[in-house]
Amino acid sequence: MGWEDLIWRIPVNMSGDPEQEYFVDGLTEDIITGLSRFRSLIVIARNSIFSYKGQSPNVRDVANDLGVRYVMEGSVRRGGNRIRITGQLVDAETGNHLWAERYDRDLEDIFAVQDEVTEAIVAAIAPEIDEVERDRAHRKPPDSLDAWDHYQRGLSAYYTATADSLRSAVQQFDTVNELDPSFAPAFAIGADARARLLMHHSLDEKSLLSQAREKARIGVNLDDRDPTCLWVDSRVQSLLGRDELAISRAQEAINLNPNSSMVHYIHGFVLGRAGRPHDAIVHVSHAIRISPRDMFSAAFLAYGCSMLFHAERYEEAFEWAQRASHKSNPLTESFLFAVAALVKLGRHDETAIAVADLLAHAPASSLRDIRKKMDLIFPASPEANKSFIEALDEAGLPK
């Protein structure tokens, strides 16, 4: 399978009140536009999609006609001043429903409703397709893998986020770079895998940052209109201490794809590293709002609770830390900030329980290593870092 086979169509086959025809057409066009902003998706143009308007064709027939793998369809119904929008995503090859959702809204501002529902649908669809593609790659025998399959396997390891899986992701993405040196996202995510490995598992492996810088540079040079390449370069530039460039890159990525939870999260990440926690919270909160079941939601929440702690909003920091620690594959930071926030709130009985939870999750935690990590992740916030370490020390963490 090659890149040209990965084509998606989003035909929104809606029915309902004829008076809502303009709303249906506008919503359909907005979804097409929104999904087209994800460079990993090739979306069939509106003219081809609108040729099915008013029909109820078989999904597999549509897929065969247009040579696509995924089809989206839905409906709009109105009752009084309420509107109900449904949508479903179908794997045309198997006929399986991959995603379905219903949106009930008050129709006070039809354009606001259109924007809100479009954002929700687009933010949900792209990750669902990515997950199915990763599963497809894992089902193929190793001797039949091509560049796309290695890329999907690399993404699977990248999302797992352990030290071993991130190293495996680096290897997979480097293989893609060799097989297809023109595919920008593999360079970009290979760079970010190295950045995350450095931040969360290998603080002393400084060569990772120089490797990440070179991979990110190649990704942007190959495609400076790909939001993924831009947000990865944003994170790398931030780790290099180039705050203004990092913030500018993140804003470019948002301009290109405002429906991506990751670009909003990275904007918050680089603002936080630049010492602007209040601004960071706004963007991280937006990332969580548009993608509440995001594969990186544990990271979004963990970083958000750190920013709330830096902003001295300790009650909220603890609440976010609790939510983060109950996600699958939680980051150690969520447990650390739960402990520190409880100390600041004077809730000493709960602090002892939180320390036990932390040490159960990360038995080797020590103030020395935590201090080193905070200096790397939050270089512009020395006073907040000091307050954080003092709280952990008061809670009794090992030196």
Segments making up each domain of the chain, as ranges = 3-123, 295-399
Q: What is the total residue count of the chain?
A: 399
**144-159 core/surface letters (b: 16 or more CB in 10 A; e: else):** ebebbbbbbbbbbbbb
What is the pLDDT confidence band of residue 123, given thresholds at 50, 70 and 90? confident
What is the pLDDT confidence band of residue 300, given thresholds at 50, 70 and 90? very high
Angle at 289 between CA 241 and CA 11, to 5 degrees: 110
Q: Which residues pair with 76 in a beta bridge?
A: 85
Burial class of residue 207 (count of CB atoms within 10 Å of its CB; 0-12, 13-18, 19+): exposed
What is the pLDDT confidence band of residue 281, given thresholds at 50, 70 and 90? very high
- Between residues 18 and 365, the one the model is more confident about: 365
Angle at 299 between CA 298 and CA 301, to 5 degrees: 65
| For residue 328, pLDDT beyond 70 | yes
Please report the pLDDT score of residue 74 as a whole number: 76
| For residue 219, pLDDT beyond 90 | yes
Range in 119-128, 171-180, 207-216, 325-334 the model is least confident about = 119-128
Q: What is the pLDDT of residues 80-114, one digit of tens each?
A: 778 888 888 888 777 777 788 888 888 777 777 77
| For residue 14, pLDDT beyond 70 | no
Radius of gyration of the chain (CA): 23
Q: What is the pLDDT of residues 21-63, one digit of tens each?
A: 667 777 777 777 777 677 666 566 555 566 666 666 677 777 6
| Terminal C-alpha separation, the chain | 53
Three-state secondary structure call for residue 98: strand
Q: What is the pLDDT of residues 149-206, one digit of tens each?
A: 888 889 989 988 899 999 999 999 999 999 999 999 999 999 999 999 999 999 889 8
For domain 3-123, the CATH architecture is 3-Layer(aba) Sandwich (3.40)
Name residue, tokens 């109820």: 56
Helix axes 110-139, 147-160, angle to 10 degrees: 110
Q: Indicate the pTM of the whole model.
A: 0.77
- The domain defined by 295-399 folds into 1.25.40
- Between residues 120 and 232, the one the model is more confident about: 232
Please report the pLDDT score of residue 6 as a whole number: 33
- Between residues 309 and 42, the one the model is more confident about: 309
Q: What is the mean pLDDT of residues 259-264?
A: 90
- Between residues 28 and 344, the one the model is more confident about: 344
